[in-house]
Amino acid sequence: MKEKIAITRMKGEEKSTADDWVASEGPLTITLNRQEIVTFLCTPGHLEDLAVGYLLGEGLVKSVSLIEEIHFFKTEGILAVQVKSVNKVAMKTLGKRYLTTGCGSGSSFYHLMDEHMIDTVPARSKAQLRDLQAAMKMLQNNSPLFACTGGVHACALFSGEDMLVLREDIGRHNAADKVLGWFYRQNLAPEQTCFLTTGRISSEILLKVAKAAIPILVSRSAPTSLAVDIARRINLTLVGFLRGKRANVYAGEERIFA
Amino acid sequence: MKEKIAITRMKGEEKSTADDWVASEGPLTITLNRQEIVTFLCTPGHLEDLAVGYLLGEGLVKSVSLIEEIHFFKTEGILAVQVKSVNKVAMKTLGKRYLTTGCGSGSSFYHLMDEHMIDTVPARSKAQLRDLQAAMKMLQNNSPLFACTGGVHACALFSGEDMLVLREDIGRHNAADKVLGWFYRQNLAPEQTCFLTTGRISSEILLKVAKAAIPILVSRSAPTSLAVDIARRINLTLVGFLRGKRANVYAGEERIFA
């Protein structure tokens, strides 16, 4: 997941050579029932989770129980997923999913995305701010690839104080897909879980988490306007800028207790 | 480019309501000679530059001189680009561009990407570390959307100490495309320019800059292994972790003077 390379370090007028670590990046192509779907540029590791998270998140496969086989052809860089049936509607609109008639306000956009694909998240789960703070600390203290390279994002799934899974990747979306793929394959109930990320929350990340019916999404960074808008419509709790004892709650505030 | 929303601020056990700014995100679909090419989720503003940067960066249009008309259909969220001719080879492989037979080392991948699309960057330009430091400071001090929302990346093009253009976007790639689109439309010579970004350097960002024959790429963040690998092969100078007086030079070290 990382490579050691020789670099030149500069500090003011000093130049020296040193060994340094950089995060690995490589292409991975996903096929679904032998049809090419997407090529990621991603960090190696947990590629099956990445594929499952992506395929279910995009709605191309409706349930993890439909997956019959996953095979990684390492030499070819192809991860082949075989399923009982694909979601034909989603396959048809693949690559055209975001087409909309309402730019700016984005109304048509999330009508398409949420009313057809995303249910309102049930309100019953709750979280304490101090648990989220502890979780964010744990996320940051358990990201070895970031500690070593400074060049990746980390995502994790928590249940209360317990970290269920943590994944790092050079791409924000890939790290999210790796966590969500793991989650889908475990057949866990989403109600008591909470999704943490080091990265910014765009509508795409938010929709991935919403698709998994995870009720609480927490970042140490900022959300976008569209992410906030969708979160409010589907009643997903969105917390941003969780740093030290501070946090901004952008949506679903009733789930967060001081 | 930003929206004011009411949020709940938490600080330890205190809860209060406040107004806060978030960066705008909306979908934008690019069509090329009436064919749908891609839909971005991006920050509004400089959308023509975004389209030009993307289309030339992906090689779908070979030269900015081929562009006949760009029209933004605001209600539909569609930016329609009309060109004299498209690059048929690139159009054919659109969406399959990254397919490769060599995952991990990525050798086939950048054979495809660089030998066919990217020339070796000429060696003659040079930069002083102190100019790059001043440029990074200027980039950070002139990012109003980041200052206000904390939720965007900024890219800029410099010539020596002069900032030619700066663009912000919720997406790292979009910010790069907006700067490069501006660059292509100005018909500037790339030799003495230097591309700065606040974001991580993946192979995609590096290839966009290389395509424009800009010889020096500087980030305050980390590069990936593949970005370093490609930079070394095509002789593009890659500087990362430029923070204060320190910097790491990953490739093309002969262009950087203390």
Biggest CA–CA distance in chain B, Å, is 62
pLDDT value at position B62? 93
The confidence band for A92, taking pLDDT boundaries of 50, 70 and 90, is: confident
pLDDT average, residue stretch B12-20? 93
Report the DSSP pairing between strands A67-73 and A153-159.
Answer: unpaired
Inter-chain residue contact A247 with B75, CB threshold 8 Å? no
Residues of A in contact with B78 (CB under 8 A): 103
Mean pLDDT throughout B229-249?
Answer: 95
Q: Give yes or no for residue A216 having a pLDDT over 50.
A: yes
The pLDDT value given to residue A99? 36
Residues of B in Cβ contact (< 8 Å) with A22: 222-225, 228, 250
B258 against A181, higher pLDDT: A181
B125: left (phi over 0), alpha (psi -120 to 50) or beta: beta
Average pLDDT over residues A246-254: 95
Highest mean pLDDT among A17-26, A86-95, A97-106: A17-26
Which three-class secondary structure state does DSSP give residue A31?
Answer: strand
Say which of A9, A15, A258 has its CB closest to residue B10. A258
Which pLDDT does position B109 carry in this prediction? Answer: 44
Better-scored residue on pLDDT, A112 or A93? A93
Query: Radius of gyration over alpha carbons of chain A, in Å?
Result: 19
pLDDT for A63 equals 95
pLDDT greater than 80 at residue A96? no
Per DSSP, the residues of B168-226 read: EESSHHHHHHHHHHHHHHHT--STTEEEEESS-B-HHHHHHHHHTT--EEEESSPBBHH
B222: its two tokens: 């980390």
- For A69, B181, B190, the CA distances from B63, given in Å and listed in that order, are 45, 11, 15
Whether A202 sits inside 8 A of B15 (CB atoms) is no
Residue of A nearest to B12 (CA): A245
**What is the pLDDT averaged over residues A120-125?**
74
Over pLDDT 90: what percentage of chain B?
78
Residues of A noted as catalytic: 103
Q: B80-139, pLDDT tens digit by residue?
A: 999 999 998 888 776 554 433 333 333 334 444 544 456 677 767 889 999 999 999 999
Size of chain A in residues: 258
Q: What is the mean pLDDT of chain B?
A: 89
Q: What is the pLDDT of residue B112?
A: 44
What per-residue string of b and e applies to A187-197 under the rule 16 or more CB within 10 Å gives b? ebebebbbbbb
A44/B104 touch (CB, cutoff 8 Å), yes or no: yes
| CA dist., res. B115 & res. B110, Å (int) | 7
Cβ contact A170–B28 (<8 Å): no
Is the model more confident about B75 or about A117?
A: B75
Question: Is residue B36 within a helix (H) or strand (E), and if so which, with residue range?
Answer: strand B35-42
pLDDT score at B230: 93
| Res A219 pLDDT > 50 | yes
Flag whether pLDDT at A102 surpasses 60: no
Band (A91; pLDDT cuts 50, 70, 90): confident
Confidence of residue A125 (pLDDT cuts 50, 70, 90): confident
- Residue B96: its pLDDT value, please? 54
Q: Is the dihedral of CA B227, B228, B234, B236 positive or negative?
A: positive
- Residue in A26, A36, A95 closest to B106 by CB: A26
- For B50-59, write each residue's pLDDT tens digit: 999 999 998 8
Between residues B94 and B23, which one has the greater pLDDT? Answer: B23
Q: Do B10 and A246 touch (CB under 8 A)?
A: yes
Query: Is pLDDT of B200 > 80?
Result: yes
* Contact (Cβ atoms closer than 8 angstroms) between residue A67 and residue A83: yes
pLDDT, average across residues A193-199: 96
Average pLDDT value for chain A:
89
pLDDT at B28 over 80: yes
Structure tokens given for B221: 């963040």
Beta bridge partners of A225: none
Across A232-252, average pLDDT: 95
In the predicted model, is pLDDT for residue A13 greater than 90?
A: no
Q: Which residues pair with A237 in a beta bridge?
A: A216
Of A120, A207, A232, give the one whose Cα is nearest residue B5.
Answer: A232
Q: Which residues contact B47 (CB under 8 A, 6 or more apart)?
A: B28, B72, B79
Question: Which tens digits make up the pLDDT trace of A50-75?
Answer: 999 999 998 899 999 999 999 999 99
What CA–CA distance (Å, rounded) separates B252 from B204?
A: 18
B215 and B236 Cβ atoms separated by less than 8 Å: yes
* 3-state SS, residue A61: coil
> How many beta-carbon pairs below 8 A join chains A and B?
216
- Report the alpha-carbon distance of residue B229 to residue A22 in Å, rounded: 11
Find the CB nearest B149 among A3, A77, A222. A222
